[in-house]
Structure 1
Amino acid sequence: MDVESMEMNGSKRVFQRQAGGSVAGGTGKVCNYWLQGRCNRRPCPISMAIPPPIGNRNNPKSTKMVRRRGRRGIPGAAAAAAWCGETRGPGSAARAGGGSAATAGAPAARRGSEIICKFFVKGRCSYGESCKFLHSWSVGDDFSLLTKLEGHQKVVTGIALPSGSNKLYSSSTDETVRIWDCESGQPCSGNHAVYYGCQTGGEVGCIISEGPWAVNIQMGTEMNLDGPLGQVYSLAVGNDMLFAGVQDSNILAWKFSPEGNCFQPAASLSGHQGAVVALVVGGMRLYSGSMDGTIRIWDLASLQCIQTLSDHTEVVMSLLCWDQFLLSCSLDRTIKVWAATESGSLEVTYTHNEEYGALVLAGMPNGHGKPVLLCSCNDNIVRLYDLPSFAERGRIFSKEEVRAIQVGPGGLFFTGDRTGELRVWKWMAGDAHSS
């Protein structure tokens, strides 16, 4: 789902210019290059008495000056190696201010640097290992990047790893569903009936591989479900039914009929005032998040709404059921943890604030079975948190926003971003932070 109205100011740096103060020589002149943030004279003879512009706090030179110098160079060895798959991941010492490398053949991260080099992301940083910014796709010593799967041309909207299958499925707004061999990492052909996706105008909005009707996978049949009008943003399975969150603010439900080997419309759940962008099933409850900023709780037996949660102030982007808790994230820059009261209703027990809008949530155990929450934000970073403390244990950087996260077996997890790149990650068993 593209939400073009997001405030994506994470990739922009704002310079505050101070026009006051005395000017050298009393001429009243101000250096034009200084005003643009790219004067390379230290000190500048024209504006030497004016306080310097406020740029990146970790870099005394202006950001635009660094950009200008970087364009003149040739991509360094570090950037070239990264695009060839030699991914670097600084260890926990780097996260705390040290600089050990977690991947063989990778240079140590710069001390105290957790800001990724924008030119490294584009594959053309001229400073190489001497660059003071991070040349690595992750920060954290307990997980590593296994491979990058390239093929999609637009946003990755969903990732599915069917149970017992050695195939990975990914959907995109480029109007394709790609199938990957988990052993070779290469695209392959497969049975399209192993996934359930919904399309509008050719763009695949989501994908799912669950369901009690999975026995029909071997039949190789495709099933088209009538009903949705507009983009389908979310899918969930519960109580032998398939639910779809639709652009027109409704949730459509189908029930599978073994006799006719088809889906029959079961219900249309209405109540939201905006598109339903998140669905998850926990117990006998269906939870839905919407662009109207609310979460609705539906009883799966009666298909009636039993509670509406209105604590978020922006779009509810993702929902996660974990143990006895419901977790939600929103463009209002918060992650909320919900728990049941004695009356059975849900209330917020904890709110974690982010600096940027939160897009996707996923949860899984690390290499030693400790719970970790993954949260993608619209600053192109996936943050990893220990639960229940919410202590940050690592970061994953991407070229653009990560819109899909999927957890797999054996410590595997997958991320897909707006550029169409799909990445495979794995927790390492020697996790020093799990004790």
Structure 2
Amino acid sequence: MDLDGGNRRFFNRLGGTSAAPPPDSSKNQKVCYHWRAGKCSRFPCPFLHRELPHPSGPTSAASNGSGAPKRFSGDSGFSGPTPRRGPNFNNNHNNNWGRMGANKVVRKTEKVCNYWVQGNCSYGDRCKFLHSWSLGEGFTLLNHLDGHQKVVTGIALPAGMDKLYTGSKDETVRAWDTNTGQCMGVLNLGGEVGCMISEGPWLFVGIPNVVKAWNTQTNQELSLSGPVGQVYTMVVGNDWLFAGTQDGTILVWKFNAVTHSFEPAASLKGHTLAVVSLVVGANRLYSGSMDHSIKAWSLETLQCLQTLTEHTSVVMSLLCWEQFLLSCSLDQTIKVWVATENGNLEVAYTHNEEHGLLNLQGMHDSESKPVLLCACNDSSVRLYDLPSFSEKGKIFAKQEIRAIEVGPGGLFFTGDGTGFRVWKWTEPVPKP
């Protein structure tokens, strides 16, 4: 797949921000808001090009004994384009979650200039609003591709393909050539796309009352019946395909290599409202629902092992990261769960946001540090260093970002109501 590398023809960078001048302790004790936005062109500038100290004093990272901040043990995080599974949960953990959360960068300007969006802002660099779709360092916007008429609800990159697929509430799936950025085809499905995933050569699309499956190598097309209402979420684990549906049921199919078809295997019941999030990790399936609960299911017996009820609203997304389970909800919290000695999960840390949360994805940045991408219902994505939850940056959009997908070579994708954007982690500047 020609998504990364210097010979990309369509993922061209759209320019970078200029470096800020060094701080000067003799300046007015006010932080330059142009510098905060990475746009200050005054030299010398009468204001500070650094953040003021926190009123309660600096907070130090938890140390591992060598003076370095303690990170996750092991290297089992997200190393590929399908980071939905994690290793087994265990109780050998050190709780560093949120230890450096006080280091959050606070900026006055976190609103995109409407005049800049329309291409006619007369203030230029003097504008107090952002002339950028992102805030922060270490990543850059490569391209914005549009074509869908409604919000993008799924982004998938099947293995071995030079195509990227997007699904939308406009009832279509679009195929994009990753070399040219051109839309290669539009498939009308006759129903809103609730979710879309890929596993190997297979592309799965959830629409009302059915799951569509395509083998992108052989062009085989299948329709998996059984769902009642919209299919909101899917995941593959232990050679099973799981689909969360509007009536609260999780349907399970098994692939039959002899007949080249997916055969119904089970129907998991327990949620009282729609199942909207699924993830596989630690030999378990985790499901999040509109009934505010998370259920843990055995991948061996398909029996429910535990029900978690700490969220107070819809559990929109789940993520397995090493020995942790992360969940986010419209109750404006991200919860980090860890297994106790008896194998049950309990909350190790709760991160509070100002808005409801829609989607979680995890990846490593260009320095191999773990980063959490968190979509909020204020049409933004927060980027956090883990496990500290220190803010790393923000991504903005005109409408809610409902789809986030991780690609190879430091690429990641965000989909909203105007199309989808391609982002890339930039290589760090070598220190002199």
Instruction: Please tell me whether the aligned partners of residues 326 and 336 of structure 2 are also in contact (alpha carbons under 8 angstroms).
Output: yes
Aligned to 2:422: 424
Instruction: Please tell me whether the aligned partners of residues 233 and 277 of structure 1 are also in contact (alpha carbons under 8 angstroms).
Output: yes
Instruction: Please tell me whether the aligned partners of residues 33 and 128 of structure 2 are also in contact (alpha carbons under 8 angstroms).
Output: no
Cα distance, 1:93–1:302 mapped onto 2, change above 3 Å: farther
Larger Rg: 1
User: How many Å apart are 1:260 and its aligned residue?
Assistant: 1.2
Runs (5+) with no aligned partner, structure 2? 1-11, 23-30, 50-106, 204-213
Task: Note if 1:209 corresponds to 2:198.
Answer: yes
TM-score by length of 1: 0.72
Partners of 2:297 and 2:219 in 1: CA distance: 33
Aligned to 2:299: 300
Partners of 2:430 and 2:230 in 1: CA distance: 44
Cα distance, 1:211–1:242 mapped onto 2, change above 3 Å: farther
Q: Which amino acid aligns with 2:181?
A: G
The structure richer in helix per residue is 1
Secondary structure, aligned partner of 2:217: helix
Cα distance, 1:119–1:391 mapped onto 2, change above 3 Å: same
The structure richer in strand per residue is 2
Cα distance, 1:360–1:226 mapped onto 2, change above 3 Å: same
Aligned to 2:284: 285
Instruction: Please tell me whether the aligned partners of residues 159 and 200 of structure 2 are also in contact (alpha carbons under 8 angstroms).
Output: no
Q: Which string of whole-angstrom CA distances, capped at 9 and with x for unpartnered residues, describes residues 6-37 of structure 1? A: xxxxxxxxxxxxxxxxxxxxxxxxxxxxxxxx
TM-score by length of 2: 0.72
Secondary structure, aligned partner of 1:402: coil
Partners of 2:358 and 2:284 in 1: CA distance: 22
Task: Note if 1:373 corresponds to 2:372.
Answer: yes
Q: Which amino acid aligns with 2:400?
A: E
Partners of 2:430 and 2:328 in 1: CA distance: 28
Instruction: Please tell me whether the aligned partners of residues 121 and 399 of structure 1 are also in contact (alpha carbons under 8 angstroms).
Output: no
Instruction: Please tell me whether the aligned partners of residues 356 and 376 of structure 2 are also in contact (alpha carbons under 8 angstroms).
Output: yes
Cα distance, 1:185–1:97 mapped onto 2, change above 3 Å: farther
Aligned to 1:77: none
Instruction: Please tell me whether the aligned partners of residues 255 and 266 of structure 1 are also in contact (alpha carbons under 8 angstroms).
Output: yes
User: How many Å apart are 1:329 and its aligned residue?
Assistant: 0.4
User: How many Å apart are 1:165 and its aligned residue?
Assistant: 2.1
Secondary structure, aligned partner of 2:149: coil
RMSD, aligned α-carbons:
3.0
Aligned to 2:114: 119
Cα distance, 1:331–1:156 mapped onto 2, change above 3 Å: same
Partners of 2:21 and 2:306 in 1: CA distance: 45
Q: Which moved more, 1:159-168 or 1:403-412?
A: 159-168
Cα distance, 1:424–1:205 mapped onto 2, change above 3 Å: same
Cα distance, 1:97–1:278 mapped onto 2, change above 3 Å: farther
Aligned counterparts, 1:11-30, within 5 A: none
Aligned to 2:224: 225
Cα distance, 1:212–1:117 mapped onto 2, change above 3 Å: closer
Task: Note if 1:174 corresponds to 2:163.
Answer: no
Aligned to 1:398: 397
Aligned counterparts, 1:346-361, within 5 A: 346-361=345-360
User: How many Å apart are 1:284 and its aligned residue?
Assistant: 1.2
Partners of 1:253 and 1:160 in 2: CA distance: 21
Aligned counterparts, 1:202-281, within 5 A: 202-210=191-199, 217-281=216-280
Partners of 1:123 and 1:179 in 2: CA distance: 28
Secondary structure, aligned partner of 2:114: helix
Aligned to 2:68: none
Secondary structure, aligned partner of 1:373: strand
User: How many Å apart are 1:212 and its aligned residue?
Assistant: 8.6
Instruction: Please tell me whether the aligned partners of residues 380 and 400 of structure 1 are also in contact (alpha carbons under 8 angstroms).
Output: yes
Partners of 1:335 and 1:316 in 2: CA distance: 10
Cα distance, 1:295–1:121 mapped onto 2, change above 3 Å: farther
Instruction: Please tell me whether the aligned partners of residues 14 and 142 of structure 2 are also in contact (alpha carbons under 8 angstroms).
Output: no
User: How many Å apart are 1:297 and its aligned residue?
Assistant: 0.5
Cα distance, 1:354–1:213 mapped onto 2, change above 3 Å: closer
Instruction: Please tell me whether the aligned partners of residues 250 and 269 of structure 1 are also in contact (alpha carbons under 8 angstroms).
Output: yes
Aligned to 1:340: 339
Partners of 2:20 and 2:306 in 1: CA distance: 42
User: How many Å apart are 1:177 and its aligned residue?
Assistant: 0.7
Which of residues 100, 120, 123 in structure 2 aligns to 1:128? 123
Instruction: Please tell me whether the aligned partners of residues 112 and 133 of structure 2 are also in contact (alpha carbons under 8 angstroms).
Output: no
Secondary structure, aligned partner of 1:328: strand
Secondary structure, aligned partner of 2:142: strand
Aligned to 2:180: 184
Aligned to 1:363: 362
Cα distance, 1:264–1:242 mapped onto 2, change above 3 Å: same
Aligned to 1:152: 148
Q: Which string of whole-angstrom CA distances, capped at 9 and with x for unpartnered residues, describes residues 143-176 of structure 1? A: 0000001111101000011233221111001111
Runs (5+) with no aligned partner, structure 1? 1-83, 193-197
Task: Note if 1:161 corresponds to 2:144.
Answer: no
User: How many Å apart are 1:114 and its aligned residue?
Assistant: 2.6
Secondary structure, aligned partner of 2:382: strand
Instruction: Please tell me whether the aligned partners of residues 213 and 256 of structure 1 are also in contact (alpha carbons under 8 angstroms).
Output: no
Task: Note if 1:139 corresponds to 2:128.
Answer: no
Instruction: Please tell me whether the aligned partners of residues 92 and 141 of structure 1 are also in contact (alpha carbons under 8 angstroms).
Output: no
Instruction: Please tell me whether the aligned partners of residues 13 and 140 of structure 2 are also in contact (alpha carbons under 8 angstroms).
Output: no
Instruction: Please tell me whether the aligned partners of residues 285 and 298 of structure 2 are also in contact (alpha carbons under 8 angstroms).
Output: yes
Cα distance, 1:89–1:302 mapped onto 2, change above 3 Å: farther
Aligned to 1:14: none
Q: Which string of whole-angstrom CA distances, capped at 9 and with x for unpartnered residues, describes residues 221-268 of structure 1? A: 100001011100000001111110000110000111111111111111
Q: Which amino acid aligns with 1:262?
A: S
Cα distance, 1:124–1:210 mapped onto 2, change above 3 Å: same
Cα distance, 1:97–1:343 mapped onto 2, change above 3 Å: farther
Q: Which amino acid aligns with 1:360?
A: N
